[in-house]
């Protein structure tokens, strides 16, 4: 299994996604541990996908899709085992799981984008903040963890030090920024 997992493109060629699915099945089928075989098999699947530069799998959860339809997952195993270990059953099932997981990620991102747009719209309608403060808040929404200083705010908006300081202190007073 380790040789298969770590091998370079082999002859015949096994596409990386199929290789990851086979590794998942292999470990779960062998069931080498008393507990945690499913989690370990999924971890091996993720490792293989990331190892082959499928970076999107850092953000995709096949576990949640499998748990939603556990019987289908188990049936894919049973069909494979009962049909002379024909992996096509499991490969097709897992391909559908991957498709659904990618769709779920797209749905989640769309929802978060709508939330961000709604928040931005609400920010623009607030009259208590000037245009510089609103611009900083919009930037903060898009760049979580960004840090702002009086000097950076002054330079961004070509204002005096006292104006930049007053803008930032106003946002801190409103509970939107924290001074460090």
CA-CA distance, 74 to 95, in Å (whole number)? Answer: 15
The two tokens of residue 175 are 């509970």
12 and 80 share one domain: yes
Kindly list the distances between the CA atom of residue 113 and the CA atoms of 21, 108, 133, 136, 167, in Å, as whole numbers in the listed order.
31, 9, 22, 18, 27
Residue-wise pLDDT tens digits, 23-61: 999 999 988 899 999 999 999 999 999 999 999 999 999
CATH number (domain holding residue 178): 1.10.10
131 and 65 share one domain: no
29 and 98 share one domain: yes
Residues 6+ apart with CB under 8 A from 98: 17, 60, 62
Check residue 175 and give left, alpha or beta (phi > 0: left; psi -120 to 50: alpha). left
The two tokens of residue 95 are 């391909």
97 and 149 share one domain: no
Is residue 163 situated within a structural domain? Answer: yes
The two tokens of residue 154 are 């002054």
Domain boundary among 76, 110, 144: 110
> Does the model's pTM come out above 0.85?
no
Residue-wise pLDDT tens digits, 86-136: 999 999 999 999 999 999 999 999 999 999 889 888 877 777 899 899 999
Asked if residue 10 has pLDDT above 80, the reply is: no
The two tokens of residue 49 are 């996908």
């Amino acid at each position: 299994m380790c040789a298969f997992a770590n091998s370079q493109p082999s002859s015949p060629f096994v596409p990386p996604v199929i290789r990851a699915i086979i590794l998942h099945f292999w470990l779960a089928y062998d069931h080498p541990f008393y507990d945690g075989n499913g989690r370990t098999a999924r971890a091996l699947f993720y490792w293989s996908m990331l190892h082959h530069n499928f970076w999107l799998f850092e953000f995709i959860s096949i576990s949640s899709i499998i748990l939603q339809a556990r019987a289908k997952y188990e049936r894919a195993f049973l069909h494979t085992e009962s049909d002379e270990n024909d992996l096509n059953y499991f490969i097709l099932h897992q391909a559908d799981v991957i498709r659904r997981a990618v769709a779920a990620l797209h749905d989640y991102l769309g929802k978060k984008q709508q939330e961000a747009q709604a928040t931005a719209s609400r920010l623009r309608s607030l009259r208590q903040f000037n245009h510089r403060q609103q611009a900083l808040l919009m930037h903060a929404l898009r760049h979580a963890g960004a840090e702002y200083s009086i000097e950076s705010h002054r330079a961004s908006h070509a204002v005096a030090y006292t104006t930049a300081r007053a803008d930032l202190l106003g946002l801190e007073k409103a509970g939107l920024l924290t001074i460090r």
